[in-house]
Amino acid sequence: MKGASKTIARVLEEIRKHQRFCIIGHQRPDGDCIGSQIALTLALQNDARDVVCWNQDPVPHKLQFLDPSHIMSCPTAEQPFDCVIAVDSASLDRVGEVVDFISHRKVLINIDHHASNTRYGDLNWIAPAEPSSGELVYRLLKAARWPIKNQIADCLFTAISTDTGSFQYPTTRPSTYVIAGDLVSKGADLSTICDEVYQSYPLPRVKLLKHVYNQFKLTNDNEIAYFWLRPADYHRTGATRDDTEGLIDHIRNIEPVVVACLFEELEPEVIRISLRSKSPLVNVSDIAKQFSGGGHKAAAGARVTGKPMTIQRRVVKAIRSALKEGKQADRISSR
């Protein structure tokens, strides 16, 4: 913890040198990314800094309640910044087109919790043991003694809740509940957050989920589940890519399934892979790394080019090998 405190102090020391900031996050942002970006933006604005909040992609519909003033935007022209802060982005490639608009800067600070982070910043605060980037931003705000007002509390609670699977993933730590409780005491609106994030789904998403249940496949004695999403599926259901968030968990939650995999065809021969594991014996981040991706032990992904069925065979083979190795390691350790 002492090492983390020193890193936080260095980050704050650097922040306090500057006036004009840009807060960026990864493309196709999720709750942790959006919550962390907006919370940090608001905190800096409250501290009388000039701040813009940029992302290549817009805020998904179900998370727009976090940004009623439309703080987050897509960049349209390069601007000069004193300091760019990237949150929840394991590599600079993950911020997508935003990277083309932030080259005129004095310093880049990289704040993230992914073990696969490439440490691309001039100053890096990487904490793989933390279950979300939202917790890192919370710790930064507390160390800076910046007030956590209602909207910031909403953003950080949403960030932490979504990246811990609503506090269900094994990465969730006792301190996570303490932080969540503090955010509630500071005004996080649990009723609104739960309704918007977990209990309000547009009909097209439900139609897409129906497609998933009808089409998913099981293999390896039902331990591996996988499904495909193609452009035609979005067209037929009226869904968008924003509606895919959380679909893989429905398949992961089937009792015999250990690893679930989503293959999403972004364009011909460009496939996004999402992986979820519910066993400590299978680290899907290691699987994703085989395809130049990364993530966490229980949730990871990659983007791969090639023939769809070739990619499917390679990924399923890698999952099968990881399951076999995990079982072997478990047998050895239990002797």
Find the mean pLDDT for residues 220-239: 96
The string of pLDDT tens digits covering residues 140-181 is 999 999 999 999 999 999 999 999 989 988 889 999 999 999
Please give the backbone phi and psi of residue 303, each rounded to the nearest 5 degrees, phi first: -120, 125
In a 13 Å sphere around the CA of 330, the CA atoms on its Cβ side amount to: 10
> Hey, CA dihedral for 34, 37, 41, 43, is it positive or negative?
positive
Other CB atoms within a 10 A radius of the CB of residue 262 amount to: 23
**Separation CA 302–CA 159 (nearest Å):** 22
Q: What is the pLDDT of residue 2?
A: 56
Quick check: 330 pLDDT over 80? no
Using one digit for the tens of pLDDT, what is the confidence trace for 176-209? 999 999 999 999 999 999 999 998 889 999 999 9
Percent of the chain with pLDDT over 70: 99
| pLDDT at residue 1, as a whole number | 52
Kindly calculate the radius of gyration of the chain based on its CA atoms and give it in whole angstroms.
Answer: 20
The span from the CA of 293 to the CA of 94, in Å, is 10
* Contact (Cβ atoms closer than 8 angstroms) between residue 281 and residue 330: yes
Cβ atoms of residues 282 and 275 within 8 Å: no
Q: Cα(274)–Cα(47) distance, rounded to whole angstroms? A: 38
Q: How confident is the model at residue 54 (pLDDT cuts 50, 70, 90)?
A: very high
Complete domains list, the chain, with CATH:
2-198 (3.90.1640.10), 203-333 (3.10.310.30)
Q: State residue 171's pLDDT score.
A: 86
Mean per-residue pLDDT over the chain, rounded: 94
- The DSSP result for 157-179, as a single string, is HHHHHHHTTTTTSTT--HHHHHH
- pLDDT, mean of residues 55-67: 94
Helix-, strand-, coil-residue percentages of the chain, each rounded to 5: 45, 20, 35
**What is the DSSP-derived secondary structure letter of residue 236?**
H
Helix axes 150-163, 31-46, angle to 10 degrees: 160
Percent of the chain with pLDDT over 90: 87
If you average pLDDT over residues 229-250, what whole number do you get? 93
Over 90: is that where the pLDDT of 19 sits? yes
Give the pLDDT of residue 139. 97
Angle of CA points 13, 27, 91, to nearest 5°: 55
Quick one: pLDDT at residue 159? 98
CB 225 within 8 A of CB 216: yes
CA dihedral 163, 140, 61, 305 (to 10 degrees): -60
Residue closest to 147 by CA, chosen among 39, 31, 49, 17: 39
Contact indicator for 39, 141 with CB cutoff of 8 Å: yes
| pLDDT tens profile 247-282 | 999 999 999 999 999 999 999 999 999 999 999 899
b/e burial code for range 163-178 (CB count within 10 A of at least 16 → b): bbbeeebebbeeebee
pLDDT tier for residue 296 given thresholds of 50, 70 and 90 = confident
Query: Which pLDDT belongs to residue 3?
Result: 60
The pLDDT tens digits for 76-107 are 999 999 999 999 999 999 999 999 999 999 99
pLDDT of 295 reads: 85
DSSP annotation of 303: E
